[in-house]
Chains A and B, each alone.
Chain A
Amino acid sequence: MSAPLLELSDLAVQLPISGELRTVLHDLSLAIGEGEALGLVGESGSGKSMTARAVARLLPPGAKSTGSIRYAGADIASLKGAALRSFRAEVATIFQDPRAHTNPVRTIGDFMTEALRTNHGVSRTDAAKRSIDLLAEVGIADGARRLEQHPHELSGGLLQRVMIAASLLTEPKLLLADEPTTALDVTTQADVMSILDGLRRERGMAMLFITHDLELASAVCDRTSVMYAGQLVEQRASTELHDDPLHPYTAGLVGARPRIDGEVGRLAAIPGRPRSAFEAPPGCAFADRCTYVQDLCTETRPALVPLDGGLVRCHRAVELRGRLQEVTHG
């Protein structure tokens, strides 16, 4: 088997928060193969966005990271010059709020073609032509007109499609998508997801898809990882994760979400609030919110261990196997 496209080993990230370095991500190891879609699901403070930022080398100033991130076999921290530029071309990022990531006084054309013209020496006409082709691919027919427009003239859904088209210009092999549809209407979300899904399959592009929506991740990703308080707590094939969760937190996320069909009952809400890594209790980070907590859970931090073809971080996982699903669907 060939090496994975992206491999994170024991990644830990600390950020300066109110004057001291605090851990927001730790013990994170994961891998994405070529053409694979991996979902990263979690709530506030889970570290899911920080993971994408670490991979894109976009950590905030003052951040400290340990462990390694390898892309196509090379440690990304050591990349310089031409190697770094080619990494940047091969790994594209799209964010939740397209308006915050575009310059309001520059046209869509400037925004889309800048990287091609400055880094890849493509002529203005050729860059525009490629932009128009890609806009057509994401369902924007009148690309030539759109290139002349400014971000405020486009709706959120349209602008997010422009972002996707722009991220494809350099023919990336890996797309980091950080909540790309969260700010969009549900019908527009379906459009954007179908575009991403189609492009990914056609181009064999790998994707790290970050979302708070377990259902959405399950629907579009091959495997899904659930994060809590800066750690991976469960990782499995998407359908298994949703239908037969192994970690009480995953089961909690499924049970807390109202259902679109079936009987309406009281939601199985998880008590308390989500924690960041630096606020988490010793032992299992989820212990203070978990229904199944025992003494061991508050004393010893569980390791991420293989189970049923996936990975889970829970002392009682084997014992609880098959029982969590009743909680979420009962």
Chain B
Amino acid sequence: MADESLLDVVALRKEFGSHVAVDDVSFSIAPGGSLAIVGESGSGKTTIAKMITGLVAPTSGTIRACGHDRSRPARGTAERRRRGGEVQIVFQDPYSSLDPRQSGAAAIGQVLALHQGGSPTERSARVAELGSLVGLDERQLHALPRALSGGQRQRVAIARALAAEPRLLILDESVAALDVSIQAQVLNLLADVRAETGVSYLLISHDLAVVRQITDDIIVMFEGQVVERGATRDVLDDPQNDYTKLLRSSVPTAGWRPRRRGDTASAWH
């Protein structure tokens, strides 16, 4: 069972002082699977992403990716690099996640040199390949971030993450800041990349329509705990937990009348 999972998170907990940000969270992702974590600000979803990528150390619990434990900081460069080859992350803001003095091609090339090696010619061929996978042309690849639009920058960030050939790509609100028409392009791209490369996604999002579009499974978090889990379609079509119901009914659609929730925010566990 455990051998089959790409990512296994068991009884994960994170405390910041007396505040429990993540409380006994467990989930797993199969190879090629796609899981969404939804919940509001402060629900602990981004803290989980940070623990999986090693940016924050868990208080307790275990994280295994590709059969290797990553609950503790990496010992040495080789292990850190191996972990980088297993899990990559794309952040929300494409304006602050790229080096302003480095072109997309250089950023992607650097990751390739680190993780895949190969000759400079092989690397530049692979840069062009990754560029075409995410829909960037030669000119855009060699432009500095300031000459690119938000959507183009996010494509660079996705291509850079894919250059390490990760088995798992964490998308932390990666499409939230994009214009609607660009967001659709990036969502289609993410579906294509998953179909072509078999990469798994862990999508962290507050946008339920985006979640429905690119994930198979979902966990709903509230105040650090998982309050509901299941197949994305089932949970969104027929939510069981009161908080999930509230989340679902808060999405504006035709005929939607905004409603105020009661002030009993703590009663949803």
A186: chain B residues at CB < 8 Å are 40, 206-208, 247, 250-251
Contacting chain B: which of A58-66, A76-84, A251-259? Answer: A251-259
Report if B254 contacts A (CB, 8 A). Answer: yes
**Neighbour of A260 across the interface among B188, B206, B246, B253, CB < 8 A:** B253
The stretch of A2-10, A146-154, A211-219, A295-303 in contact with B is: A211-219
Residue pair A242, B188 in contact (C-beta under 8 Å): no
B258 interfacial by beta-carbon distance below 8 Å: yes
Question: Does A133 lie at the interface of the complex (its beta carbon under 8 Å from any beta carbon of B)?
Answer: no
* Complex CA–CA separation, A253 to B179 (angstroms): 10
Nearest-CB residue, chain A, relative to B215:
A264
Contact of A268 among B184, B250, B263 (CB under 8 A): B184
Please tell me if the beta carbons of B180 and A212 are within 8 angstroms of each other in the complex.
Answer: yes
In the assembled complex, which residues on chain B have CB atoms less than 8 Å from the CB atom of A213? 252
User: Residue-by-residue, is B218-255 near A (CB-CB < 8 Å gives 1, otherwise 0)?
Assistant: 00000000000000010011000000001111111111
Given contacts A215-B253, A260-B251, contact A194 B179 (CB under 8 A): no
- A44 close to B179 (CB less than 8 A): yes
Closest A residue to B40 by beta carbon equals A185
Judge whether A216 and B213 touch: CB under 8 Å: no
Decide if B66 is an interface residue (CB 8 Å cutoff).
no
A187 and B254 within 8 A (CB): no
Q: How many A-B residue pairs have CB under 8 A?
A: 130
The answer to whether B236 touches A260, judged by C-beta atoms less than 8 angstroms apart, is: yes
Q: Chain A residues with Cβ under 8 A from B260's Cβ?
A: 139, 190-191, 194-195
Looking at A190, A191, A218, A273, the one whose CB has the most chain B CB atoms below 10 A away is: A190
CA A84 to CA B236, docked complex, whole Å: 50
Q: Which of B87-143 contact A (CB under 8 A)?
A: none
Q: For the complex, is B193 an interface residue (Cβ under 8 Å from A)?
A: no
Bound-state Cα–Cα, A259 to B191, Å: 15
Asked if B61 lies at the interface with its beta carbon under 8 angstroms from chain A, I say: no
Q: Report B-chain residues with C-beta under 8 Å of the C-beta of A216.
A: 252
Q: How far is the CA of A44 from the CA of B180 in the complex (A)?
A: 10
Are B208 and A260 within 8 A (Cβ)? yes
Pick the contact of B261: A187, A220, A264 (CB < 8 A): A187
Interface code A200-215, partner B: CB below 8 Å = 1, 0 otherwise? 0000000000001111
Residues of B within 8 A of A253 (CB): 180-181
Report if A188 contacts B (CB, 8 A): yes
Q: Are A264 and B213 in contact (CB under 8 A)?
A: yes
Contact B258 A197 (CB under 8 A): yes
8 A Cβ contacts from B251-269 to A: 251-261, 263
20 contacts between A and B (CB under 8 A): A43-B179, A44-B179, A155-B41, A186-B247, A190-B249, A190-B260, A191-B258, A191-B261, A193-B258, A220-B252, A258-B187, A258-B209, A258-B210, A258-B212, A261-B237, A266-B191, A267-B213, A269-B185, A269-B188, A289-B181
State the 6 A-B residue pairs at the shortest beta-carbon distance, nearest first: A256-B184, A194-B258, A193-B258, A269-B184, A258-B213, A185-B40
Which residues of B pack against A, CB within 8 Å?
40-41, 149-152, 179-185, 187-188, 191, 206-210, 212-213, 233, 236-237, 246-261, 263
- 10 extra A-B contacts, CB within 8 A, seeds A190-B249, A212-B180, A258-B210: A187-B40, A187-B250, A194-B258, A195-B260, A214-B180, A218-B252, A219-B252, A219-B258, A259-B209, A259-B212
